[in-house]
């Protein structure tokens, strides 16, 4: 369990896949030896919210108890998460995927890259649809919630639904698995590694973010 006195660098040392999540708080590499409290103070981050979120995100806590202010912070975090998927993670995968296909030329049909591209585009559409749904729901309700309003109602909006979570998780896992098991023929191994690694980082982040949503759903019961 991370505390205010934990070194932020130790989080990254132990799990580099936390880097995208930290980026949503404006935290980039080069954190020095500062503690979580030091970095949160320097960045103007709500310390209690950060600790609750990062411990839940990394699986160190089985609960996520948030104040009204924390709920607002979480709404912003989820919006930034969706923005990261749409503007950074998916374009990065797509860029490497296009390069991989370009290097393969006429072999794309033989090595299943055309089929995999179709799976990727379906994943991209579903993540984009989820982002649009979140944006519509949260802009209408979370932004205007008053301190005395029901936190449960707002949490339900943020939590989304389990079926959507599972569908997106399954699609990204299936795509990564297809690369590992069914890729055939000749292809650029370095570019293929870039695609698979990027998919693995995305899959990990999606699962952890969906874990936050699941913990919120438990709070709403």
18-56 pLDDT, tens digit each: 999 999 999 999 989 999 999 999 999 999 999 999 999
Whole-prediction pTM: 0.86
pLDDT of residue 12: 93
The band of 184, judged by pLDDT with boundaries at 50, 70 and 90, is confident
Helix (H, G, I), strand (E, B) or coil at 7: strand
Report the half-sphere exposure of 57 (CA within 13 A, side-chain side): 24
- Residue 106 pLDDT > 70: no
Q: Choose among 110, 118, 121: nearest CA to 187.
A: 110
The band of 111, judged by pLDDT with boundaries at 50, 70 and 90, is low
Helix 113-141 crosses helix 68-84 at what angle (to 10 degrees)? 150
Question: What span, in angstroms and rounded, lies between the C-alpha atoms of 162 and 127?
Answer: 14
């Amino acid at each position: 369990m991370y505390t205010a006195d934990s070194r932020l660098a130790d989080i990254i040392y132990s799990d580099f896949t936390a880097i995208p999540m930290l980026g949503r708080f404006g935290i980039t590499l080069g954190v020095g030896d500062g503690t979580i409290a030091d970095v949160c103070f320097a960045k103007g981050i709500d310390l209690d919210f950060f600790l609750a979120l990062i411990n839940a995100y990394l699986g160190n806590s089985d609960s996520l108890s948030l104040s009204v202010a924390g709920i607002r912070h979480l709404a912003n975090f989820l919006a930034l998460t969706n923005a990261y998927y749409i503007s950074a993670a998916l374009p990065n995968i797509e860029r490497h995927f296009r390069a991989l296909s370009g290097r393969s030329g006429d072999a794309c049909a033989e090595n299943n890259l055309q089929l995999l591209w179709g799976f990727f585009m379906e994943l991209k559409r579903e993540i984009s649809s989820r982002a649009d749904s979140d944006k519509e729901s949260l802009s209408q309700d979370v932004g205007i919630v008053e301190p005395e309003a029901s936190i449960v109602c707002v949490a339900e909006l943020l939590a989304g639904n389990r079926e959507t979570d599972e569908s997106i998780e399954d699609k990204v896992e299936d795509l990564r698995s297809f690369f590992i098991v069914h890729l055939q023929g000749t292809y650029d191994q370095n570019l293929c590694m870039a695609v698979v690694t990027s998919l693995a980082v995305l899959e990990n982040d999606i699962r952890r973010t969906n874990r936050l949503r699941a913990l919120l759903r438990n709070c709403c019961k």
